[in-house]
Chain A
Amino acid sequence: MNREILNARRLLCPLPVIRTQNKIKEMRPGAHLEVICTDPGVMQDIPAWCRIHGHTVLETHSGNHEYVILIEVGGQNG
């Protein structure tokens, strides 16, 4: 499976959401994006953004002050 990694460390929300949004626009449906952040707000904001745009959060985890979200790009990307 094609997986890309987005480094959104040190960015404060909503910038990690904006970077995720812009990255996903370039990706194909079904592709996976791993977003790595340091703002805990992403644990709410990126899943919310994914829900309204039809993308799926496959996994979230955190540790050592980092927050990682794995997203599968939805069928109607845009």
Chain B
Amino acid sequence: MNTQRKAVALISGGLDSMLAAKTVMDQGIHVEGINFFTGFCVEGHTHAIREKDRAKPKRNNSLWVAEQLGIKLHIIDVIEEYKNVLINPKHGYGAHLNPCLDCKIFMVNKAKQWIAENGFDFIITGEVIGQRPMSQRKDTMPVVARESGADDLLLRPLCARNLTPTLPEREGWIDREKLHDFSGRSRKPQMEMAERYGFHEYSQPAGGCCFLTDKNYSAKLADLWQAHGHKDYELDDVMLLKVGRHIRPAPHFKLIVAREEGEGRFLQGYRKEFVSMAATSHNGPLVLIDGSPSAEDLYLAAGITARYGQGREAEQVDVKITDKDGLERTLRVKPLAKELPQEWYI
């Protein structure tokens, strides 16, 4: 009697991992999906904080892919473990603070642990030789297999025929001839395949699936590390980088200014961890102060807070400052001039 072989597919929510999983499912393999949440995933609903985005809630693409394929999806919280990947990437960063190669090694290693714990036989990824400049090159793909410890348990169905046969192919669990030989940056073969399978409305995020590939986000993270004097971080730190306008008038403090009501409501949740301020004589945003501001700095911050409210043209604005323990006081300030120095914006 033949043993039902089982594979776990790394599902990012993009087209490639979806097609890779489907290719293997078509060969009678039982496939389930796995998705790792690092805290930097674009698939998070951070944008839903903003009021304007609430009317058009965005789906989670990894769940959508799993539903299209009819497979289970296990979403794993790797926030804590991922810190070491981001802080100390053995293979360095990409164009920004994206440690793509170390990230892929980490995730395949986690998948290898998962298959051992759950009685699965091998791992599938949607990698294609030459598709990405750091983690999906001909010279780095063997590094992923080797350093993750997955070795020949790692099958890349979309480009397998360009690679050395893996254990599932050698053992005959998978017919190598039915796998693919895609390579390079062209998306055409994948799009044709999607059309054949009837997959429409799939996600094609321009910057990949991670905020760390975003120039602006990486600049804010680098600023945070520099201000804190170390690279360690908490989830709240990285979430707050996605919210509000970040303004650093001096190295030792910055303001996070809510841009609209939804962000203000989100920032309200942090009032016990930060000094906060808001105008009381006029409507205006909630502002969090991160760092160690002096009394003079708080006066400056109050002027900036006033500048972002409806009192920006007023002679004087009352700004209430609330410390972490809830103690309140009010400063009467003149709003800062219309344009802040460009270098203050992070």
Contacts and interface: CB of A to CB of B under 8 A. Distances in A.
Nearest to B54: A40
Interface in A40-58: 40-41, 43-45, 48-49, 51-53
Contact of A39 (B45, B63, B75): B45
Nearest to A9: B269
A18 B60 contact: no
B67 A44 contact: no
Contacts of A53: 72
Interface in B55-83: 57-60, 62-64, 66-67, 70-77
16 contacts: A12-B45, A12-B49, A13-B43, A14-B45, A14-B60, A15-B77, A17-B63, A18-B37, A39-B48, A41-B48, A41-B57, A45-B45, A45-B63, A48-B59, A48-B60, A52-B67
B44 interface: yes
Majority secondary structure of chain B interface residues (helix, strand, loop or mixed): mixed
B49 A52 contact: no
Nearest to A21: B75
Given A41-B60, A45-B60, A48-B63, A12 B46 contact: yes
A51 B46 CA distance: 23
Interface string A28-70: 0000000000011101110011011100000000000100000
A10 B269 contact: yes
B250 interface: no
B239 interface: yes
Interface string B11-46: 000000000000000000000000101000101111
Contacts of A17: 60, 63, 75
Interface residues of B, number: 30
Contacts of A48: 59-60, 63-64, 67
B21 to A, nearest CB: 13
Contacts of A43: 57
A12 B43 contact: no
Contacts of A15: 37, 77
Given A13-B43, A17-B75, A18-B75, 11 more contacts: A12-B46, A12-B49, A13-B45, A13-B48, A17-B63, A18-B37, A39-B45, A41-B48, A43-B57, A51-B67, A65-B265
Interface string B70-108: 111111110000000000000000000000000000000
Contacts of B73: 49, 52
Contacts of B48: 12-13, 39-41
B57 A52 contact: no
A76 to B, nearest CB: 10
Contacts of B41: 14
B239 A40 contact: no
B78 to A, nearest CB: 10
A21 B37 CA distance: 13
Contacts of A14: 35, 37, 41, 43-45, 60, 62, 75
Contacts of B72: 52-53
